[in-house]
Amino acid sequence: MSLQVKVLISAEEIARRVQELGQQISQDYQGQDLMIIGILKGAVVFLSDLIRHITVPLELDFMAISSYGEATETSGVVQLLKDLDRPIEGQHVLIVEDIIDSGLTLSYLYQLLQSRNPASLKTAVLLDKPERRRTVFIPDYIGFSIPDKFVIGYGLDYNHKHRELPYVGVLEH
List the catalytic residues. Answer: 101
Cis link prior to 82 (omega < 30° from 0)? no
- In terms of C-beta density within 10 A (0-12 exposed, 13-18 middle, 19 or more buried), how is residue 57 classed? exposed
Of the candidates 96, 109, 111, 95, which has an alpha carbon nearest to the alpha carbon of residue 66?
A: 109
- φ and ψ at 143, to 5 degrees? -70, -60
Cis link prior to 41 (omega < 30° from 0)? yes
Q: Compute the distance between CA of residue 125 and CA of residue 44 in angstroms, rounded to an integer.
A: 12
Residue 38 in contact with residue 109, Cβ under 8 Å? no
